[in-house]
Structures are given as structure tokens and as C-alpha cells.
Amino acid sequence: MITFQRVAKAAGKHLTRTLLAARKALGARANRGCPACGQAVVGFFRYGDNAEWGCPNCGASPRERLMNHLIAGHVLTVPEQGAVLHMAPNEGSLVRRFSAAADYTPADLDPGRYPVPNMRRVDLMALDASDRYDLFYASHVMEHVPDDHAVLRNIHRALKPGGEAWLIVPLWDKPTEDGSFDMPPRERERRFGQWDHVRQYGPDFADRIRAAGFDLEEIDAGAIDADTRHYHALDDRLFRARKPLTTGAR
């Protein structure tokens, strides 16, 4: 669905990306770096309200750069001998990292949208696996699902004991506001920032994760040292949910 908001964001992205390319051509110093592609860059391009959203070389978003920084720094570990379910795999650097796992499943409700080999169709509302995966990753997915409480329970069941779900969602500083697909698309865009979103998450997303049975660690880019955060233009917050080794019946 084409909306004025999306057109305006795309125009700003194109303009600032063009300006960065011009600065590079004119010999501007590349004194920033992207942890997703490993390239030095002169800066990052704007998208929406974020003036340093994307890498001009590979297009990586702040959340993609954050994930690469955390994995490269061994804060997070991809289970190379394990099973990984990667939802909505539109971040190329993370496809490369996660596909190193022995059992890698890239998946989406609409798998044809992604140029990734061996895509599977997975409906998180109907996910019925049990103790199957070592790692589940979903970035900006949960705000699209009709019932996130049910999906979190499904993810919990699908993970092996000790397995982790790495979740990133759009956040504001107010309590989570829920809607539904019964709302008109324009109303969803107005309230939740995008026509295909059915909620806007707040910090209380953590409570929903814990209610599904997870232990939780929140990793915020703001806690990373200022020089590193500036160099990579890191932003966003990762909800690192872990299924306990011993769980009660659910």
C-alpha cells in the first residue's frame, strides 16, 4: 500500500544516500564504519526521523548493525551445530551469519517476498513445533501478528530448553497499544506508524515475553560505549528471551 508517509521516507532516503555518494566522490574522509558489511563510510543515510538510519554501502539498518556488532563481539552466539528459525530474512548480513548453522530455516508468511534460497512458509499463529529450534530470530515481525501473546507461547514451545528468541520491535516510551486488522489501513498507519502494523510496542513488551515463560535480557544500544555507538550509528533494543532449561507445563 503506497502512502504519503512511505513516499516521503523513500524520498528522504534517496536524497541523503545521493549526497553521501557525492561526498565520497569528492574525497570526504570515511571515518565511520558499518559492522554489517565491514566497510568504512562517510556517514549514514536518513530514513524517516532517523538521520543516520542506513549504511550507504550495504543498506543495513540500525537494528541490523546492532545485531552484527553484538554477534561479532561475542555478546550473542549463533549455534553453528544447532537449528535456527529466521523469520522475515530481509537483512542479508544476518542471513549469512545464521545460515552457518547446521539446520537453518529462513521463513515468512509470504516467502516469495524474499530472494533467499530454501524459503519456507511459516505462520507464527499456527507454529506447532515442540523443542525444535536452538534459536529463533524475528526483527520487526511481532507488530504484524494478530495475537502476539499466542505467538510468544508458540515460540516458547518451539524452542529447545535453553534455546533463545532474539526479538526486535518498533518501540515508543508509552505502554503498548493494540489494534486489529479490523481497523482501516489508514487508521493503523496513523496509530502504529505503518498500515500493516496492528500494535505499537512500549517497554512493557518485556512483560509479554516473560508471561510466555521466558527469562529475559534486554540489550539496548544506548548502553554501548559512546564512541562505538557513534562510529557504527547503533540504535534499537534487542529482547533476548531464553527458554529455561526446566519449564513447567504450558
Task: Map out the domains of the chain with their CATH numbers.
Answer: 1-60 (no CATH), 61-242 (3.40.50.150)
Name residue 100's amino acid: A
Closest CA to 148 of 184, 83, 202, 77: 202
Residue 177 pLDDT: 95
Residue 48 pLDDT: 84
Residue 224 pLDDT: 98
Written as nine digits, the cell of 160 is: 529447545
Q: Each residue of 172-183: pLDDT tens digit?
A: 999 999 999 888
Average pLDDT, the chain: 90
H-helix or E-strand spanning residue 193 = none
pTM across the whole model:
0.86
In the chain the first and final C-alpha atoms are separated, in Å, by: 38
Q: Each residue of 115-172: pLDDT tens digit?
A: 999 999 999 999 999 999 999 999 999 999 999 999 999 999 999 999 999 999 999 9
Closest CA to 250 of 210, 198, 223: 210
Closest CA to 93 of 133, 66, 53: 66
Residue 70 pLDDT: 99
